[in-house]
Structure 1
């Protein structure tokens, strides 16, 4: 039996297909829904999907927090080193110049301006 013979005919011989196909689609959708176990399975799958998405979001936020914390710590360490480098250098320069002066070698190492 072909599909055309099962469809109701409209006046003028045209096949009316909207009701037949919409019923067919509903039947297929219902079959697919029944295949996964009905409403409770759909709700369970949706709840699991939402749970997984929330876990991904929480882990992404935690990663960003840790990444920003590490970047802040690296930046603070760089600033600290820069601020204290000049003080350490000056302290060493004074000690080295004092020792060179004691040895009488200070003039040998002076850079002309």
Structure 2
């Protein structure tokens, strides 16, 4: 746990090079990248003709306890999806996220429906 009294530890990096120069942000980036590889988040494919690759960027956040102390340095690698064009870069839209409340409702309705 890190105390907020140190101002250099509670500031977000302004660039990837700045993040890589700081040990706790570098560790957060390595953890994110390792998780993406471990989960098989993507695989390399040939780029279709007349297409451009979609870029990505790092998003940094500091997670804090209620008392203000730093809990975790969080780095996320996200796609710049706003550059995508429907029918050209993608043709399907889906959201694999389910809210916990939805799961609870389904589990409570299932026994009533047999």
Structure having the higher helix fraction is 1
Structure (1 or 2) with the greater strand fraction: 2
TM-score, normalised via structure 1 length: 0.25
Higher relative CO (Cα under 8 Å, sequence separation at least 6) belongs to: 2
- Give the TM-score normalised by the residue count of structure 2: 0.24
